[in-house]
Amino acid sequence: MTKISITGPKSQLETTIDTLHNLGLLHIEDYEGELETGEPGDEAEELSELLVDIRSVISKLPEKEEKREEVKASVEEVQGEFEDIRNDVDRLKSGIEGSKREIKEFEEEKDFYRSLKGSGLDIQEVRETESLDVAVADFKVDEFKEEVNTDRYDIFRGSKASAVVFEKNVSAEVNSALQESGRNIYSIPGDLREGVPSEALSSIDSDIGDAEAEKEKFENELKVLADEWAGKLRFVEGFLTERIEKAEAPLNFATTERAFIAEGWVPSDMYDVVEEEVAESAEGKVHIQKEEGEEAPVKHDNPGAVQSFESLTDLMAVPKYNEVDPSAIIFLTFPLFFGFMIGDFGYGLTTFLVFYAGYRMFEGAREIFKSLMWASVATMAFGLAFGDAFGFVIFGSHSILAEQFGLDIFAQIPLLFHRAEHLTQVFTVSALIGLVHVNAGYLVGAYNEYSRHGAKEAFLEKGSWLLLEAGIALWYFIGMMAGLPVVLISIIALYLGEGVEGIVEIPSLLSNVLSYFRIFGVSVAAVALAAVVNGIAGTAFATGGLLGIALGTAILVIGHVFNTFIKIMEGFLQGIRLHYVEMFGKFYEGGGKKYAPFGAQEP
């Protein structure tokens, strides 16, 4: 990145802004000097208000399955019709919401009459009398009769509740008895329907049908309106966004009565292009020059497969301009950690489906879900290596496919090892992963220090840790006389490089490596959880009969779906934590600012 300043007369300000916006290369820096900053264009406020209104209307329009294409339209055309469009949209949305409320109220009323179906009671007729009243509740008739202190009532039993018709002068006794014996006392609707419950239900169904027809009419009108105007509104939205961005650009420039100064960053290999285009558009009246600058914005530069993992890097912090972008490291190791911890072909498939669904549903998080799909592929690969699918052994001497279905070919396929039977290997692999990963962090840190300060600082600050580990290894495998001098030299180097803080942090080296045993824990837990589900389901299957088969199948489906989400949570959180905390702490500072060029379209 190269920092530049652009200086010119105010008469060329609009032309220069247009050119820079069209190029989409300049990351503008806010001016913080003694000069005054510019003011937004005269139209900025009016356009901003129109843009907010247009976005509000767009948000209320229904989406097609295929996103509507933008249709060219002028701002004047949209402004001329906009008030009518907004009023129509608000009217139709209000009608749809009103119909939904009516349908909900009718459904609640329907629940009331459905509970009394079969009772043969016309509640409205009872309520119209001067001497009688009615209460509806789900209660035990025998208990009610024991509690009530009068016989001036009659009970009409329905399918889910019963109605008590009683004389108004004994309402206190009846309601008290219902409170004691009733499980649920129903509220009687204010507007009662004529006829017995079955007749009332028919009337309600008719009203629901009318409300749904009204709702559908409003929705169809809104779809027609959307088909006519949504594309045009989106086009004008994009146009206004660009106009406002240009109109507000001077807020970041320094200005005097006659001149302006803009500062920012461009990719070094595009400096000549920017200089030539701006000079040509301003007829040589605008001057561009390179400036000294720190904290350049960062533009990730990774091959295609790594790009989706940039989102996981930025989730923690954007890298600084002069440090290694760890996205490639996450690409290489995060899927392996996730895959090793889950290590089951079946769960690899289900997690892949979950991540693919997330990719399709959440546009703003697509890159994260794409990176997680790589993790699912690694899970399937490790599942085949371990011979596991939903907790069942599918390969090797214990293959369920060979035992249950006679498919002996699967028993001949070799396994890397089965985790439930080889815990020592899982434990050892977890420890080795920790050693390699942590030391890779020190090596990357050494490269960062070498790039910034040279070989001496790289050795003192990062190489000293590697030397300390080498000394400890020599001490353990050969003896104290071989290891102690190396350990002492490394401690001195560490003190010279990082001071007392480095000495204090020596115990953290062990805790960092031990933290990788969470890979062991999650891996073993993954096997155990699958086995628990299969064991419970197996018990249900063993009872035989259709009920046993249905119950066992339900347990398998629900259990493994539940396990899928547990494994996603554990695999992601533990896997990414080992990167963010244990490894990145050895080399990664972050805190950079992302390259956001003026006029560039969001990816």
Q: How many residues does the chain have?
A: 603
Contacts of 579 (CB under 8 A, 6+ apart): 326, 329, 330, 333, 334
Q: Specify whether the CB–CB gap between 97 and 122 falls below 8 A.
A: no
Q: Report the mean per-residue pLDDT for the chain.
A: 87
Dist. CA 370–CA 376, nearest whole Å: 10
The reported pLDDT for the residue numbered 336 is 94
- Residue 415, Cβ neighbours under 10 Å: how many? 20
Would you say residue 222 has pLDDT above 80? yes
The token duo for 35 is 């000069």
Cα 142 to chain centroid distance, Å, stands at 55
Nearest-CA neighbor of 225 among 72, 98, 84, 97? 84
Q: What is the mean pLDDT of residues 220-247?
A: 86
The domains found in the chain, sorted by start residue, are 119-195 (3.30.70)
The reported pLDDT for the residue numbered 399 is 67
Q: What is the mean pLDDT of residues 117-139?
A: 89
Q: Which residue has the tokens 């994260």?
A: 368
Dist. CA 229–CA 227, nearest whole Å: 6
- Residue 298 φ/ψ region, left for φ over 0, alpha for ψ in the -120 to 50 degree band, beta for the rest: beta
The reported pLDDT for the residue numbered 294 is 79
Dist. CA 23–CA 196, nearest whole Å: 75
Q: What is the mean pLDDT of residues 22-41?
A: 84
Would you say residue 97 has pLDDT above 90? yes
Contacts of 347 (CB under 8 A, 6+ apart): 379, 383, 390, 526, 530, 560, 563, 564, 567
Would you say residue 397 has pLDDT above 60? yes
Is residue 141 very low, low, confident or very high in pLDDT (cuts 50, 70, 90)? Answer: confident
Q: Is 404 exposed, middle or buried (0-12, 13-18, 19+ CB in 10 A)?
A: exposed
Q: What is the mean pLDDT of residues 431-455?
A: 89
Q: Specify whether the CB–CB gap between 336 and 576 falls below 8 A.
A: no
Q: In 3-state terms, what secondary structure has residue 389?
A: strand
The reported pLDDT for the residue numbered 516 is 92
> Strand 287-291 to strand 182-185: parallel, antiparallel, or no bridges (unpaired)?
unpaired
Query: Bridge partners of 444?
Result: none
Dist. CA 574–CA 341, nearest whole Å: 9
Is residue 104 very low, low, confident or very high in pLDDT (cuts 50, 70, 90)? Answer: very high
Determine the residue type at 554. A
Give per-residue pLDDT as tens, 243-300.
Answer: 888 888 888 888 888 898 999 999 888 889 988 888 888 888 889 998 887 788 888 8
Would you say residue 405 has pLDDT above 80? no
Q: Which residue has the tokens 């594309």?
A: 231
Determine the residue type at 244. I
The reported pLDDT for the residue numbered 564 is 92
Give per-residue pLDDT as tens, 161-219.
Answer: 999 999 999 899 998 998 888 778 888 888 888 899 999 999 999 999 999 999 999 99
Determine the residue type at 524. V
Percent of the chain with pLDDT over 70: 95
Q: Specify whether the CB–CB gap between 160 and 127 falls below 8 A.
A: no
Q: Specify whether the CB–CB gap between 258 and 13 falls below 8 A.
A: no
Dist. CA 328–CA 440, nearest whole Å: 13
How many helices, marked H, and strands, marked E, lie in the chain?
A: 22, 12
The token duo for 427 is 């434990």
Task: Estimate the crossing angle of helix 506-514 against helix 464-477, to 10 degrees.
Answer: 70
Dist. CA 264–CA 451, nearest whole Å: 24
Would you say residue 22 has pLDDT above 60? yes
Furthest-apart CA pair in the chain: how many Å?
109
The token duo for 574 is 């533990």
The reported pLDDT for the residue numbered 602 is 61
The token duo for 464 is 């000293």
Cα 567 to chain centroid distance, Å, stands at 16
Most confident of 59-73, 175-189, 568-582: 568-582
Q: In 3-state terms, what secondary structure has residue 149?
A: coil
Q: What is the mean pLDDT of residues 513-541?
A: 89
The reported pLDDT for the residue numbered 503 is 85
Q: What is the mean pLDDT of residues 489-506?
A: 85
Dist. CA 496–CA 480, nearest whole Å: 24
Would you say residue 478 has pLDDT above 60? yes
Contacts of 465 (CB under 8 A, 6+ apart): 442, 490, 494, 509, 586
Residue 100, CA distances (Å) to 60, 210, 212, 214, 254 in order: 16, 12, 8, 10, 55
Question: Percentage helix, strand, coil, to 5, in the chain?
Answer: 65, 10, 25
Dist. CA 534–CA 322, nearest whole Å: 52
The token duo for 280 is 């040509």
Dist. CA 36–CA 440, nearest whole Å: 49
